[in-house]
């Protein structure tokens, strides 16, 4: 696993961003091929063909499909009882570049708009003298790159020079920070509890998965998730959420958002491996989880979050 | 897809999660508890006669039962229209995931439809047998089929019918309460939304259901009596007044208690609740309390002055309608309001219903009109629903000779 990750990281270092995202696209193509072959692992990932059977995966280009059929990926043996995946977010490192969102959307064929996402980044800003933060994220139209048709995002410069104009007066900014959010793959997931069909379930190795061929699209899970991590994919008519790129991690790769994060904000690894990055992160830092009072026992561990982070 | 996005996305203020800007449960989920509520309410009225022997409800008890059945047929339809994958709806019945509050829905609804069908059949069997002998042509065959081969109308058989219908009604009362309390539980059990997460939710749903169901019966009874040019039964109207008054009083008290409790506890985010009440749902909130208050004032005056005759009919009709509107607004406030308050408690989204489309006001109106149409046809099929009314052949809709 380590070898593969190192190799991919090395490749990523030599590539331009565009090439790299293209590479991610090929990753999706591979996952699509797996889904077509009826592989259980890949069908739980986002790239499964919604119509079932053999054929291009969701949003897969014909040439990507052809390549996936020609060069099917070699899947290493994977035993889900030997892993316990966990995620770390070092909020102090996040610069709000939002590459994670774009990588996720491409990797997992998430709907390309600002209202459906598997992962997002929130910006918290305290004005001087205020105890409450002003929060914004990708669904704020000002954070969408104009002309990108809601496919690309960038935090706007509203706190330029530590000043904020709220329409009435210009105020000084106390502090600003970013917090990345994604599915917490809870130990006691509310979404799994409320799913009437069992289409969403907790995998032995940690992630909560959705069987998109069995989900009825009632959206009870969307209501039940305390973290707002779920949405309805309008095209598939089924629930959608982050699965830590299950199709990648079971092949020894990192989730797409972790792969592209330029600052090491996102940390991923196996709790069963004492030296994994996430175990080191949890061991070496004082970490917190979101909304612990909900009783969901999240598996995304945060460093450097603040009382206002919900 | 662009079209979908344009219509589904709700504007927001404050801090909400990005995924929350598409409201998951639309106006279809507003009328789902509304319709089941009407079913439960109408059933309770029919049971007051069938089970408790309150004779004043005799003239409308079978009509109430038929109303309950016709509305129950359509109770699951809003859910079906709402599903992202409607063709997979039965997955929840084939492989129910029992930790889910929703998993039992298919069974509960099916059980209740069966129970209502059985009770209706036992209540009307003697009349069906009679009509299978007096009618001619195709309709005779239809009625013959409806007798299910049981054409014994001896006193002993009729007594058995009555006993079974009464026992079914006795099962039906906890059934109706369970059905609607269960709908309240679907909302109340979600810990993520402060606006829903209340132990009082099932009780509020149940009581308002009875209120709206009585309101519906009053409205339909008055309108149909006027339509048939028949006087309304004074005793029945008085009885409906008592039930409606009790319903309104209890509903208002419990709802006020819930609101006060939420504000008094003042947990984190109570400001968000206040913003919601005074913001996106202030109009339906006014309608909810205005409707209930109007119904309360009118029924109280009617009771104080012992109003009778045409005045009672008119004002009871108005208060019944006010109650129906008030409860509909309450359903909106619960279902839509709960989603308009962000899970962060620090932001609001504003839901704008679509007019056309699968999940739209047109669908809602169609689904809500359908039970009335079916009820019209059902009372034509079973004209004895109006107690003591002679069978007038020329009014038969299902008469094959008339059709020719």
Partners of residue B91 in chain A, C-beta under 8 Å? 197, 199, 214, 216
pLDDT at A53: 53
Encode pLDDT of A101-124 as tens digits: 999 999 998 999 999 999 999 999
pLDDT at B311: 93
Partner-chain contact B1 A111, CB within 8 Å: yes
Hey, are the CB atoms on A135 and B346 less than 8 Å from each other? yes
SS3 for chain B, per residue?
Answer: CHHHHHHHECCEEEECCHHHHECCCCHHHHHHHHHHHHHHHHHHHHHHHHCCCCHHHHHHHHHHHHHHHHHHHHCCHHHHHHCCCHHHCCHHHHCCCCCCCCCCHHHHHHHHHHHHHHHHHHHHHHHHHHHHHHCCHHHHHHHHHHCCCCCCCCHHHHHHHHHHHHHHHHHHHHHHHHHHHHHHHHHHCCCCCCCCCCCCHHHHHHHHHHHHHHHHHHHHHHHHHHHHCCCCCHHHHHHHHHHHHHHHHHHHHHHHHHHHHHHHHCCCCHHHHHHHHHCCCHHHHHHHHHHHHHHHHHHHHHHHHCCCHHHHHHHHHHHHHHHHHHHHHHHHHHHHHHHHECCCCEEEECCCCCCCCCCCHHHHHHHHHHHHHHHHHHHHHCHHHCCCCCCCHHHCCCCHHHHC
Write out the residue range of the structural domain in which residue A310 sits.
75-310
pLDDT tens track for B309-360: 899 999 999 999 999 999 999 999 999 999 999 999 999 999 999 899 889 9
Please state the domain count of chain B.
1
Q: B191–A194: do the CB atoms touch at under 8 Å?
A: no
Q: What is the pLDDT of residue B8?
A: 64
| Residues from chain B contacting residue A231 (CB–CB below 8 Å) | 19, 22
Other beta carbons within 10 angstroms of residue A99's beta carbon come to 20
Q: pLDDT tens, B286-307?
A: 999 999 999 999 999 999 998 8
Q: Is B401 a residue whose pLDDT tops 50?
A: no
What is the value of pTM for the model shown?
0.86
pLDDT of residue B26: 92
- Select from B21, B83, B190 the Cβ nearest to the Cβ of A218: B83
In a domain, residue B78? The reply is: yes
Is the residue at B395 inside a domain? no
Residue B310 class from Cβ within 10 Å (0-12 exposed, 13-18 middle, 19+ buried)?
A: exposed
Give me the mean pLDDT over the B366-374 stretch: 96
Instruction: Please tell me which of the candidates B84, B101, B105 has its beta carbon nearest to residue A237.
Output: B84
Show the domain range for B252: 9-384
Nearest-CB residue to B192 (from A195, A198, A224): A224
Quick check: A270 pLDDT over 80? yes
Q: Are the Cβ atoms of B84 and A190 closer than 8 angstroms?
A: no
B83 in contact with A, Cβ within 8 Å: yes
B84: domain CATH number is 1.20.1630.10
> In this predicted structure, what is the pLDDT of residue B268?
83
The count of C-alpha atoms lying within 13 angstroms of the C-alpha of A109, restricted to the half-sphere facing its C-beta, is 23
Find all residues with CB under 8 Å of A307, minimum gap 6, and list them: none
Asked if the model's pLDDT at residue B398 lies above 70, the reply is: no
- Inter-chain touch B22–A231, beta carbons under 8 Å: yes
User: Residue A196 is nearest to which of B18, B21, B100, comparing CB atoms?
Assistant: B100
Cα torsion B158, B163, B168, B174: sign? positive
* Residue among A113, A216, A223 whose CB faces B88 most closely: A216
Looking at beta carbons, which residues of chain B come within 8 Å of A235?
1
Q: Residue A146 has which token pair?
A: 């104009």
Number of domains chain A contains = 1
Please give the pLDDT value at position B151.
Answer: 87
Residues 6+ away with beta carbon under 8 Å from B215: B41, B244, B295, B319, B320, B321, B322, B323, B324, B327
List the end-to-end C-alpha distance of chain A, in Å, as a whole number.
34
Q: Does B21 contact A139 at a Cβ distance shorter than 8 Å?
A: yes
Query: Which residues of chain A have a CB within 8 Å of the CB of B82?
Result: 218
Strand partners, A172: A163
Tens of pLDDT, residues B103-161: 999 999 999 999 999 999 999 999 999 999 998 889 999 999 999 999 888 999 999 99
> Which chain B positions have a beta carbon within 8 Å of A194's beta carbon?
99-102, 190
Minimum distance, in Å, between the CA of residue A307 and any CA atom of chain B:
12
- pLDDT confidence tier of residue A277, bands split at 50, 70 and 90: very high
Q: What is the mean pLDDT of residues A174-201?
A: 96
Does residue B50 sit within a domain? yes
Q: Which residue of B has its CA nearest to A290?
A: B344
Is the CB of B105 less than 8 angstroms away from the CB of A196? yes
Q: Do B99 and A137 touch (CB under 8 A)?
A: no
Q: Which residues of A touch B5 (CB under 8 A)?
A: 111, 113, 115, 234
ipTM of the complex: 0.90
* pLDDT of B392 higher than 50: no
Q: What is the largest CA-CA distance in chain A?
A: 62
B4 domain-assigned: no
Tokens of A42: 């890949």
pLDDT (mean) for B262-283 = 91
Residue found by looking up tokens 């000084």 in the block:
A172
Q: Which tens digit of pLDDT belongs to each residue from B193-231? A: 989 988 899 999 999 998 999 999 999 999 999 998 889
> Do residue B101 and residue A231 have CB atoms under 8 angstroms apart?
no
Q: Determine, yes or no, domain membership for A21.
A: no
Contacts of A195 in chain B (CB under 8 A): 97, 100
Cβ neighbours of residue B119 closer than 8 Å, sequence gap 6 or more = B50, B65, B165, B168, B169, B172
| pLDDT value at A268 more than 90 | yes
The chain A residue lying nearest B98, using CA atoms, is: A196
Residue A126's beta-bridge partner residues?
A133, A175
Contacts of A142 in chain B (CB under 8 A): none
Q: Do A223 and B25 touch (CB under 8 A)?
A: yes
**Is residue B226 assigned to a domain?**
yes
What residues are paired with A210 via a beta bridge?
A200
Residue B88 touches chain A, beta carbons under 8 Å: yes
**Residue A246: which CATH number?**
3.30.70.20
Average pLDDT score over chain B: 90
Q: Is B258 a member of any domain?
A: yes
pLDDT per residue over B50-80, tens digit each? 899 898 998 899 999 999 999 999 999 999 9
User: Looking at residue A54, what is its pLDDT?
Assistant: 62
A170 occurs within a structural domain? yes
Which pLDDT tens digit goes with each residue over B11-47? Answer: 899 999 999 999 999 999 999 999 999 999 999 999 9
Pick A234's closest partner by Cβ from B4, B97, B345: B4
Q: Do B103 and A196 touch (CB under 8 A)?
A: yes
Do B84 and A117 make contact, defined as CB atoms within 8 angstroms? no
The answer to whether residue A282 sits within a structural domain is: yes
Residues in chain B within 8 Å Cβ distance of A237? 83-85
pLDDT, residue B114, reads 96
Q: How confident is the model at residue A69 (pLDDT cuts 50, 70, 90)?
A: confident
Q: Could you tell me how many CB contacts below 8 A there are between chain A and chain B?
A: 145
8 Å CB contact of A137 and B88: no
């Amino acid at each position: 696993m380590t070898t593969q990750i190192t190799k991919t990281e090395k490749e990523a270092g030599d590539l331009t961003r565009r090439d790299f995202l293209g590479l991610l696209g090929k990753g999706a193509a591979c996952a699509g091929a797996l889904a077509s072959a009826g592989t259980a692992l890949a069908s739980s990932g986002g790239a499964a063909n919604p119509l079932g059977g053999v054929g291009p995966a969701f949003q897969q280009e014909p040439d990507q499909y052809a390549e996936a059929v020609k060069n099917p990926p070699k899947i290493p043996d994977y035993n889900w009882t030997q892993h316990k995946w966990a995620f770390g977010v070092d909020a102090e490192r996040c610069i709000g570049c939002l590459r994670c969102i774009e990588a996720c959307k491409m990797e997992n064929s998430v709907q390309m708009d600002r209202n459906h996402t598997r992962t997002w980044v929130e910006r918290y800003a305290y004005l001087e003298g205020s105890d409450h933060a002003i929060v914004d994220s990708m669904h704020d139209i000002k954070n969408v790159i104009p002309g990108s048709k809601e496919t690309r995002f960038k935090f706007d410069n509203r706190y330029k020079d530590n000043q904020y104009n709220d329409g009435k007066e210009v105020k000084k900014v106390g502090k600003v920070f970013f917090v990345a959010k994604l599915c917490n793959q809870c130990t006691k997931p509310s979404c799994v509890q409320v799913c009437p069909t069992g289409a969403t379930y907790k995998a032995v190795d940690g992630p909560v998965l959705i069987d998109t061929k069995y989900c009825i699209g009632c959206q009870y899970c969307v209501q039940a998730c305390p973290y707002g991590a779920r949405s309805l994919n309008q095209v598939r008519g089924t629930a959608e959420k982050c699965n830590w790129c299950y199709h990648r991690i079971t092949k020894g790769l990192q989730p797409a958002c972790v792969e592209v994060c330029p600052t090491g904000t996102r940390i991923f690894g196996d709790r069963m491996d004492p030296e994994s990055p996430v175990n080191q992160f949890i061991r070496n830092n004082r970490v917190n989880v979101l909304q612990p009072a909900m009783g969901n026992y999240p598996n995304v561990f945060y460093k450097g979050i603040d009382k206002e982070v919900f | 897809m662009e079209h979908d996005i344009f219509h589904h996305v709700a504007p927001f203020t404050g801090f909400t999660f990005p995924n929350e800007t598409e409201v998951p449960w639309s106006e279809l989920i507003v009328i789902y508890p509304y319709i089941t509520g009407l079913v439960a309410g109408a059933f309770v009225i029919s049971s007051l006669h069938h089970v408790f022997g309150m004779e004043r409800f005799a003239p409308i008890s079978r009509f109430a039962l038929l109303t309950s059945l016709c509305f129950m047929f359509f109770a699951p339809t809003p859910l079906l229209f709402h599903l992202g994958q409607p063709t997979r709806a039965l997955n929840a019945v084939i492989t129910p995931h029992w930790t889910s509050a929703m998993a039992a829905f298919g069974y509960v609804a099916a059980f209740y439809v069966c129970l209502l069908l059985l009770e209706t059949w036992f209540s009307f069997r003697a009349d069906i047998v009679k009509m299978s002998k007096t009618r001619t042509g195709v309709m005779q065959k239809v009625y013959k089929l409806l007798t299910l081969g049981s054409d014994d109308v001896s006193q002993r058989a009729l007594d058995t019918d009555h006993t079974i219908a009464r026992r079914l009604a006795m099962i039906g009362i906890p059934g109706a309460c369970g059905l609607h309390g269960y709908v309240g539980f679907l909302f109340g059990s979600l810990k993520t939304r402060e606006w829903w997460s209340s132990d009082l939710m099932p009780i509020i749903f149940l009581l308002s259901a009875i209120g709206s169901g009585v309101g519906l019966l009053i409205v339909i009874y008055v309108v149909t009596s006027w339509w048939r040019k028949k006087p309304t039964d004074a005793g029945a109207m008085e009885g409906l007044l008592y039930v409606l008054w009790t319903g309104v009083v209890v509903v208002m008290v419990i709802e006020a208690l819930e609101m006060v409790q939420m504000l008094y506890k003042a947990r984190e985010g109570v400001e968000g609740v206040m913003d919601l009440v005074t913001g996106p749902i202030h109009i339906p909130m006014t309608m909810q309390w205005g409707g209930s208050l109007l119904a309360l004032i009118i029924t109280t005056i009617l009771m104080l002055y012992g109003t009778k005759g045409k005045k009672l009919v008119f004002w009871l009709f108005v208060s019944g309608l006010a109650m129906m509107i008030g409860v509909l607004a309450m359903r909106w406030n619960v279902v839509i309001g709960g989603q308009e308050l962000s899970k962060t408690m620090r932001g609001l989204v504003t839901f704008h219903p679509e007019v056309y489309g699968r999940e739209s006001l047109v669908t809602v109106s169609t689904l809500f009109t359908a039970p009335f149409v079916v009820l019209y046809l059902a009372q034509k099929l079973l004209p004895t629903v109006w107690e003591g009314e002679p069978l007038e052949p020329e009014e038969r809709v299902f008469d094959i000779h008339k059709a020719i």
